[in-house]
Amino acid sequence: MPVTVNFGLREELMKFEQTASLCYQCGTCTTVCPMSEYGLNTRLVMKMANLGIVDDWLRKVIWLCTGCGLCQESCPNEIKIPNVIKFIRLKIMHEPNIGRRK
């Protein structure tokens, strides 16, 4: 299924959490995430967030995050990943059709 890049969403994310743009996809966050074995790929979540993409996979896995902060603690760029996840959750709750084709 094709995905749609939402540039407005990306701009909103940068206002909400400016450190999100510092992600260079090293994967350290996913390595330490206790929920990665259940399907949460934090690196992929960050990539999609930075591209402004919300798809069905993201809608499901974003709720697996426990907010423990291990990802942020281990991030070499000190990205506030739990804030990025919070942003995506809020967008999905307030705009349930975001990223869905009409």
86 has pLDDT over 90 = yes
Mean pLDDT of 69-75: 98
Give the pLDDT confidence of 13-42 residue by residue, as tens digits.
999 999 999 999 999 999 999 999 999 999
| pTM score | 0.91
Report d(CA 3, CA 63) in Å as an integer. 20
Report d(CA 77, CA 75) in Å as an integer. 5
Number of C-beta neighbours around residue 61 at 10 A: 19
Using the Cα atoms of residue 19, residue 47, residue 10 and residue 59 in order, give the sign of their dihedral.
Answer: negative
> Dmax of the chain from CA atoms?
39
Report d(CA 44, CA 77) in Å as an integer. 16
What pLDDT does residue 67 have? 96
- Count CA within 13 A, CB hemisphere, residue 83: 15
